[in-house]
Structure 1
Protein backbone atom coordinates (compact mmCIF):
# COMPACT_ATOMS: atom_id res chain seq x y z
CA UNK A 1 0.00 0.00 0.00
CA UNK A 2 1.13 3.52 -0.75
CA UNK A 3 -0.14 6.80 0.54
CA UNK A 4 0.60 10.37 1.47
CA UNK A 5 1.74 11.57 4.87
CA UNK A 6 0.50 14.91 6.12
CA UNK A 7 2.06 15.64 9.50
CA UNK A 8 0.84 12.73 11.63
CA UNK A 9 -1.97 11.71 9.25
CA UNK A 10 -1.46 8.99 6.69
CA UNK A 11 -3.82 8.74 3.73
CA UNK A 12 -3.68 5.37 2.02
CA UNK A 13 -4.17 5.56 -1.73
CA UNK A 14 -4.03 1.86 -2.49
CA UNK A 15 -1.51 -0.12 -4.44
CA UNK A 16 1.40 1.47 -6.27
CA UNK A 17 -0.30 0.30 -9.48
CA UNK A 18 -3.42 2.26 -8.56
CA UNK A 19 -1.44 5.43 -7.85
CA UNK A 20 0.52 5.13 -11.09
CA UNK A 21 -2.75 4.47 -12.91
CA UNK A 22 -4.12 7.83 -11.75
CA UNK A 23 -1.11 9.72 -13.07
CA UNK A 24 -1.05 7.67 -16.27
CA UNK A 25 -4.77 8.30 -16.83
CA UNK A 26 -4.32 12.06 -16.38
CA UNK A 27 -1.31 12.18 -18.70
CA UNK A 28 -2.95 10.01 -21.36
CA UNK A 29 -6.46 11.50 -21.35
CA UNK A 30 -5.87 15.13 -20.38
CA UNK A 31 -2.35 15.83 -21.60
CA UNK A 32 -2.13 14.04 -24.96
CA UNK A 33 0.14 11.38 -23.46
CA UNK A 34 2.57 13.99 -22.05
CA UNK A 35 3.56 13.80 -18.40
CA UNK A 36 3.65 16.92 -16.25
CA UNK A 37 3.05 19.92 -18.47
CA UNK A 38 -0.22 21.64 -17.53
CA UNK A 39 -0.51 19.87 -14.17
CA UNK A 40 3.15 19.90 -13.21
CA UNK A 41 2.51 20.61 -9.51
CA UNK A 42 0.47 17.40 -9.28
CA UNK A 43 2.29 15.29 -11.87
CA UNK A 44 5.85 16.20 -10.95
CA UNK A 45 6.01 17.54 -7.39
CA UNK A 46 3.32 15.41 -5.77
CA UNK A 47 4.18 12.23 -7.66
CA UNK A 48 7.91 12.45 -8.28
CA UNK A 49 9.16 14.22 -5.17
CA UNK A 50 7.32 16.20 -2.53
CA UNK A 51 4.85 19.03 -2.61
CA UNK A 52 6.00 22.22 -0.92
CA UNK A 53 3.34 23.83 1.27
CA UNK A 54 3.49 27.09 -0.69
CA UNK A 55 2.23 25.13 -3.73
CA UNK A 56 -0.77 23.53 -2.01
CA UNK A 57 -3.33 26.18 -3.13
CA UNK A 58 -2.15 25.78 -6.74
CA UNK A 59 -2.27 21.98 -6.37
CA UNK A 60 -5.88 22.17 -5.11
CA UNK A 61 -6.80 24.30 -8.12
CA UNK A 62 -5.04 21.91 -10.52
CA UNK A 63 -6.79 18.94 -8.90
CA UNK A 64 -10.13 20.67 -9.53
CA UNK A 65 -9.15 21.09 -13.18
CA UNK A 66 -8.16 17.44 -13.38
CA UNK A 67 -11.46 16.40 -11.81
CA UNK A 68 -13.40 18.52 -14.27
CA UNK A 69 -11.45 17.05 -17.17
CA UNK A 70 -11.90 13.47 -15.99
CA UNK A 71 -15.69 13.85 -15.76
CA UNK A 72 -15.72 13.58 -19.57
CA UNK A 73 -14.26 10.06 -19.49
CA UNK A 74 -16.03 6.83 -18.64
CA UNK A 75 -14.35 4.24 -16.47
CA UNK A 76 -13.22 2.24 -19.52
CA UNK A 77 -10.77 5.06 -20.35
CA UNK A 78 -8.63 4.32 -17.29
CA UNK A 79 -4.96 3.83 -18.16
CA UNK A 80 -2.92 1.46 -16.04
CA UNK A 81 0.49 2.35 -17.40
CA UNK A 82 1.27 5.30 -19.69
CA UNK A 83 4.33 3.45 -20.96
CA UNK A 84 2.27 0.36 -21.84
CA UNK A 85 -1.22 1.43 -22.91
CA UNK A 86 -2.28 -2.18 -23.52
CA UNK A 87 -1.76 -3.10 -19.83
CA UNK A 88 -5.02 -3.88 -18.09
CA UNK A 89 -5.92 -2.29 -14.74
CA UNK A 90 -4.99 -4.45 -11.74
CA UNK A 91 -8.57 -4.56 -10.48
CA UNK A 92 -11.74 -6.27 -11.60
CA UNK A 93 -13.91 -4.77 -14.32
CA UNK A 94 -16.91 -4.77 -11.96
CA UNK A 95 -16.89 -1.58 -9.93
CA UNK A 96 -19.24 0.26 -7.60
CA UNK A 97 -22.31 1.93 -9.06
CA UNK A 98 -21.10 5.20 -7.51
CA UNK A 99 -18.19 5.30 -9.98
CA UNK A 100 -19.78 7.03 -12.95
CA UNK A 101 -16.66 8.50 -14.54
CA UNK A 102 -12.93 8.78 -13.96
CA UNK A 103 -13.25 11.87 -11.76
CA UNK A 104 -15.11 10.20 -8.94
CA UNK A 105 -12.94 7.12 -9.20
CA UNK A 106 -9.63 8.84 -8.51
CA UNK A 107 -10.03 12.32 -7.03
CA UNK A 108 -11.58 11.96 -3.55
CA UNK A 109 -8.51 10.86 -1.59
CA UNK A 110 -6.21 13.36 -3.30
CA UNK A 111 -8.59 16.16 -2.39
CA UNK A 112 -8.63 15.06 1.28
CA UNK A 113 -4.84 15.00 1.37
CA UNK A 114 -4.43 18.49 -0.07
CA UNK A 115 -7.14 20.09 2.06
CA UNK A 116 -5.74 18.53 5.25
CA UNK A 117 -2.24 19.73 4.36
CA UNK A 118 -3.53 23.23 3.70
CA UNK A 119 -5.45 23.29 6.99
CA UNK A 120 -2.46 22.07 9.01
CA UNK A 121 -0.06 24.44 7.25
CA UNK A 122 2.50 21.69 6.81
CA UNK A 123 5.87 22.29 5.16
CA UNK A 124 5.56 19.53 2.56
CA UNK A 125 3.70 16.37 1.57
Structure 2
Protein backbone atom coordinates (compact mmCIF):
# COMPACT_ATOMS: atom_id res chain seq x y z
CA UNK A 1 0.00 0.00 0.00
CA UNK A 2 1.20 3.49 -0.85
CA UNK A 3 0.90 6.24 1.75
CA UNK A 4 0.91 10.01 1.61
CA UNK A 5 0.89 13.01 3.89
CA UNK A 6 -2.35 14.94 3.72
CA UNK A 7 -2.70 18.55 4.85
CA UNK A 8 -6.00 20.13 3.93
CA UNK A 9 -6.84 19.23 0.34
CA UNK A 10 -3.22 18.47 -0.65
CA UNK A 11 -1.70 15.00 -0.38
CA UNK A 12 2.02 14.44 -0.96
CA UNK A 13 2.75 10.90 -2.09
CA UNK A 14 5.47 9.24 -0.01
CA UNK A 15 5.68 5.67 -1.26
CA UNK A 16 5.14 2.22 0.14
CA UNK A 17 4.21 1.77 3.77
CA UNK A 18 7.40 -0.26 4.26
CA UNK A 19 9.47 2.67 2.92
CA UNK A 20 7.73 5.09 5.31
CA UNK A 21 8.35 2.66 8.18
CA UNK A 22 12.02 2.35 7.17
CA UNK A 23 12.61 6.08 7.59
CA UNK A 24 11.19 6.09 11.11
CA UNK A 25 12.90 2.77 11.93
CA UNK A 26 16.25 4.27 10.92
CA UNK A 27 15.64 7.39 12.98
CA UNK A 28 14.64 5.47 16.08
CA UNK A 29 17.30 2.76 15.86
CA UNK A 30 20.19 5.08 15.06
CA UNK A 31 19.23 8.18 17.08
CA UNK A 32 17.00 7.16 20.00
CA UNK A 33 18.92 5.11 22.56
CA UNK A 34 15.91 4.97 24.90
CA UNK A 35 13.46 3.64 22.31
CA UNK A 36 10.86 4.71 19.79
CA UNK A 37 9.82 8.33 20.22
CA UNK A 38 12.06 9.00 23.22
CA UNK A 39 13.86 11.92 21.53
CA UNK A 40 11.46 12.73 18.70
CA UNK A 41 7.95 12.28 20.12
CA UNK A 42 6.11 14.54 17.69
CA UNK A 43 7.44 12.77 14.63
CA UNK A 44 7.60 9.18 15.87
CA UNK A 45 4.72 9.04 18.33
CA UNK A 46 2.30 11.38 16.62
CA UNK A 47 2.98 11.79 12.90
CA UNK A 48 4.10 8.20 12.34
CA UNK A 49 1.04 6.98 14.25
CA UNK A 50 -1.17 8.80 11.76
CA UNK A 51 -1.82 12.41 12.76
CA UNK A 52 0.03 15.54 13.84
CA UNK A 53 -1.83 18.62 15.03
CA UNK A 54 -0.80 22.21 14.27
CA UNK A 55 0.30 22.94 17.84
CA UNK A 56 3.03 20.28 17.41
CA UNK A 57 4.39 21.63 14.11
CA UNK A 58 7.11 23.84 15.59
CA UNK A 59 8.47 21.08 17.80
CA UNK A 60 8.27 18.60 14.91
CA UNK A 61 10.33 20.99 12.75
CA UNK A 62 12.93 21.25 15.50
CA UNK A 63 13.02 17.47 15.77
CA UNK A 64 13.45 17.18 12.01
CA UNK A 65 16.41 19.58 12.04
CA UNK A 66 18.16 17.42 14.65
CA UNK A 67 17.36 14.27 12.69
CA UNK A 68 18.85 15.70 9.49
CA UNK A 69 22.00 16.80 11.26
CA UNK A 70 22.53 13.50 13.02
CA UNK A 71 21.56 11.20 10.13
CA UNK A 72 24.17 12.95 8.00
CA UNK A 73 26.82 11.25 10.16
CA UNK A 74 25.75 7.75 9.00
CA UNK A 75 26.68 6.10 5.72
CA UNK A 76 23.87 4.70 3.53
CA UNK A 77 24.69 1.12 4.52
CA UNK A 78 23.47 1.94 8.06
CA UNK A 79 19.83 2.15 6.93
CA UNK A 80 17.39 0.16 9.08
CA UNK A 81 14.61 -1.19 6.90
CA UNK A 82 12.53 -2.53 9.78
CA UNK A 83 13.28 -1.91 13.44
CA UNK A 84 11.23 -5.01 14.31
CA UNK A 85 13.26 -7.18 11.92
CA UNK A 86 16.84 -5.94 11.80
CA UNK A 87 17.79 -8.54 9.19
CA UNK A 88 15.35 -7.01 6.68
CA UNK A 89 16.92 -5.03 3.86
CA UNK A 90 15.65 -2.64 1.20
CA UNK A 91 14.28 -4.32 -1.93
CA UNK A 92 17.05 -2.64 -3.96
CA UNK A 93 19.79 -3.87 -1.62
CA UNK A 94 22.92 -1.74 -1.91
CA UNK A 95 22.15 -0.65 -5.48
CA UNK A 96 21.54 3.05 -4.79
CA UNK A 97 22.20 6.30 -6.62
CA UNK A 98 25.61 7.94 -6.26
CA UNK A 99 23.68 11.05 -5.15
CA UNK A 100 22.93 9.30 -1.86
CA UNK A 101 25.88 10.10 0.37
CA UNK A 102 24.49 9.50 3.87
CA UNK A 103 21.25 8.69 5.70
CA UNK A 104 20.05 12.31 5.62
CA UNK A 105 19.49 12.06 1.86
CA UNK A 106 18.83 8.32 1.57
CA UNK A 107 15.04 8.44 1.57
CA UNK A 108 13.53 9.52 -1.76
CA UNK A 109 9.76 9.39 -2.26
CA UNK A 110 8.06 7.50 -5.07
CA UNK A 111 7.72 10.84 -6.88
CA UNK A 112 11.48 11.45 -6.73
CA UNK A 113 11.55 14.03 -3.93
CA UNK A 114 13.68 13.90 -0.81
CA UNK A 115 11.42 12.64 2.00
CA UNK A 116 12.92 15.04 4.52
CA UNK A 117 12.18 17.97 2.19
CA UNK A 118 8.57 16.81 1.83
CA UNK A 119 8.21 16.49 5.62
CA UNK A 120 9.72 19.93 6.16
CA UNK A 121 7.44 21.59 3.58
CA UNK A 122 4.35 19.96 5.08
CA UNK A 123 5.33 20.95 8.60
CA UNK A 124 6.11 24.55 7.61
CA UNK A 125 2.78 24.85 5.80
CA UNK A 126 1.00 23.38 8.81
CA UNK A 127 2.77 25.75 11.19
CA UNK A 128 1.89 28.77 9.04
CA UNK A 129 -1.64 27.91 7.91
CA UNK A 130 -3.01 25.40 10.41
CA UNK A 131 -4.67 22.05 10.09
CA UNK A 132 -3.63 18.49 10.79
CA UNK A 133 -1.17 16.38 8.85
CA UNK A 134 -2.48 12.87 8.38
CA UNK A 135 -0.81 9.75 7.04
CA UNK A 136 -3.28 8.40 4.49
CA UNK A 137 -3.43 5.48 2.06
CA UNK A 138 -3.29 6.46 -1.60
- TM-score scaled by structure 1? 0.92
Q: Deviations over 1:74-110 (max 9, x none)?
A: 1100001101101111234222222111111232221
Q: Is the 8 A contact 1:17 1:90 kept in 2?
A: no
Structure 1 residue runs without a partner (length 5+) = none
Q: What is the count of residue pairs matched by the alignment?
A: 124
Task: Kindly indicate which of the two structures has a greater share of residues assigned to helix.
Answer: 1
Alignment of 1:1-125 (within 5 A): 1-32=2-33, 34-106=35-107, 107-122=116-131, 124-125=132-133
Match of 2:112?
A: none
Higher RCO structure, 1 or 2 (CA under 8 Å, sep 6+): 2
The TM-score, its normalising length taken from structure 2, stands at: 0.84
SS in 2 for 1:105: coil
SS at match of 2:48: helix
Report deviation, 1:119: 3.0
| CA-CA distance at 1:19 after TM superposition | 0.3
The answer as to whether partners of 1:33 and 1:82 remain within 8 angstroms in 2 is no
Tell me, in whole angstroms, the C-alpha distance in 2 between the residues paired with 1:121 and 1:33.
31
> Aligned equivalents of 2:125 and 2:92: distance in 1?
28
Unaligned runs of 5+ in 2: 108-115, 134-138
- Determine which structure has the larger strand proportion and give its number: 2
* RMSD of Structure 2 on Structure 1 (CA): 1.4
Moved over 3 A (4+): none
